[in-house]
Amino acid sequence: MIVAEKTYAQIPCPSADHFETVFFGNDQFKYELGSSSIPASWNTLGFNDASWLTGQGGLGYGDSDDSTVVTTTISLFVCKTFSITTLSNIQSALLHIDYDDSFVAYLNGVEIARNNIGTIGIPPAWDDAASGDHEAIMYQGYDPEMFVIDPTVLQQNLIQGNNVIAIEIHNTSTQSSDMSCIPFFTLGISDGSFTYNLPPAFVPATFGSSNLPLVYINTNGQNIPYAGSDIVAEMGIISNATGQRNYFTDAFNNYEDNINLHIRGQSSSGFPKKSFAIETIDSVGNPNHVGLLGMPDEDDWVLHGPYSDKALMRNLFIYTLMREMGWWAPRTVYCEVIINCQYQGVYVLMEHINRKKTRVNVSSMDVNDNVGDSVTGGYIVKIDKYNAGQSTAWVSPIGNFQG
């Protein structure tokens, strides 16, 4: 079902000739520990931070990533003033940040990103706690999380001359054993000029086209929740004919409608590259049975993000092998995923395992199906890893190979 009044497809994500980094995580920052004396204007360009302390990022305590160690606190307020030479060639902006446990970031007083605390658009109180634990990851060898600044917010609030990025970090409690703040601010430049700094290796290359289908998701500013709740988001898919490249600016031609969306997985939900459960729905929230990327019509889908599998093919290979042996296994299609204009990487779009004629074609049973022929036939049996209170699980009999 195509919803003509959608605006997401008509507003393509901004592209850039290249990226340049304005400031790095180990630059000098102004900072102050959270207290009731933090003024409401602390995150604005006009705020006088002369009395605040100066330190090198990362700022925090308790981990090996702290160039400037602060005392144990529920919150930390950080400011970085920078200068913009010209606005005309700035196409986009990225905030990379490594943090523990939550953060809210502002550009000249306007919120541009947050995670793990409160409600978007409502500044937390100085003593508000993070919603849960979130460990910093750079000191563990991973890249910082990336947040794409909304193009409209960027255009309306970035100015020529001095600007300020302000970040508040919140812990889960005053007894938390660690805190981290390591931010990077990067601009997408639309021409061949060079003004600022070469970006770190984790800043993505510009993205223009792919041989794989392109899956775009727009959450309209909502954080994607974990299993147990969903948000309604928009999804569009570009999949041109075989042999033709799929371009960033092409119109959606395989799917364009709403979805229910949440992060999928247990231990894997903690990976930097998330997997997602998707239900295709129509504009009023009813299930929308569609055939995504050539697969049979249904409404339950999985965007599997291989992370520990660096070959990106283990699940796909086994499912393909099972189907070729005559058994049912989820159909799979490689794709590239962009969420809120943020490139996520190569994913596998696959069918969710459930009882349907187009999926696992076994009959449903009721309370009367308990003897004789009525209990014969097909079953879906799940034997998974151990969970709390669970007595049955599957453990590989194959030991570690060379550690």
Residues 371-393, mean pLDDT to the nearest whole number: 76
Residues 248-253, mean pLDDT to the nearest whole number: 84
| Residue 58 maps to a domain | yes
Count of domains forming the chain:
2
DSSP of 353-394: --B-TTSB------TT--SGGGG-S-------S--TT-----
Q: Which single residue is written with the structure tokens 């019509």?
A: 297
| 28, 315 contact by CB (below 8 A) | no
Do 267 and 182 belong together in one domain? no
Do 167 and 218 belong together in one domain? no
| Residue 147 maps to a domain | yes
Do 177 and 215 belong together in one domain? no
Last-in-domain residue among 306, 329, 351: 351
Of residues 302 and 91, more confidence is placed in 302
What ranges make up the beta strands (E) of 240-316? 246-247, 255-264, 275-281, 300-304
Closest CA to 223 of 287, 282, 274: 274
Give the per-residue pLDDT at 395.
76
Q: pLDDT category, 1, cuts 50, 70, 90?
A: very low
| Region for 321 from its dihedrals, namely left if φ exceeds 0, alpha if ψ lies in -120 to 50, beta otherwise | alpha
Do 178 and 213 belong together in one domain? no
Residues 29-38, mean pLDDT to the nearest whole number: 96
Residue 304 CB neighbours (<10 A):
21
| Residue 247 maps to a domain | yes
Do 174 and 225 belong together in one domain? no
Of residues 341 and 278, more confidence is placed in 278
Do 125 and 172 belong together in one domain? yes
**Percent of the chain at pLDDT above 70?**
94
CATH of the domain at 177: 2.60.120.260
Q: Which of 51-60, 323-332, 333-342 has the lowest mean pLDDT?
A: 333-342
Do 95 and 26 belong together in one domain? yes
| Residue 24 maps to a domain | yes
Cα–Cα distance for residue pair 58/74, rounded to 1 Å: 17
Do 240 and 180 belong together in one domain? no
Both structure tokens of 378: 């097909």
Q: pLDDT category, 35, cuts 50, 70, 90?
A: very high
| 342, 359 contact by CB (below 8 A) | no
Do 165 and 272 belong together in one domain? no
What DSSP element (H or E) covers 317? helix 314-324
Environment class of residue 65 by beta-carbon count within 10 Å: exposed (0-12), middle (13-18) or buried (19+)? Answer: buried
Cα–Cα distance for residue pair 27/104, rounded to 1 Å: 19
| Residue 397 maps to a domain | no
Number of H helices, E strands in the chain: 2, 21
Do 250 and 334 belong together in one domain? yes
Q: What residues make up the domain containing 142?
A: 18-189
| Residue 170 maps to a domain | yes
Do 50 and 179 belong together in one domain? yes
Pairing assessment for the beta strands 90-100 and 145-148 based on DSSP bridges = antiparallel
Residues 138-165, mean pLDDT to the nearest whole number: 91
Do 30 and 171 belong together in one domain? yes
Q: pLDDT category, 64, cuts 50, 70, 90?
A: confident
Q: pLDDT category, 44, cuts 50, 70, 90?
A: very high
pTM of the model: 0.63
| Residue 302 maps to a domain | yes
Give the per-residue pLDDT at 127.
96
Of residues 69 and 387, more confidence is placed in 69
Residues 6+ apart with CB under 8 A from 237: 213, 214, 215, 216, 252, 253, 254, 255, 256, 292, 293, 335
| Residue 202 maps to a domain | no
Give the per-residue pLDDT at 10.
32
Residue pLDDT, tens place only, 14-25: 567 889 999 999
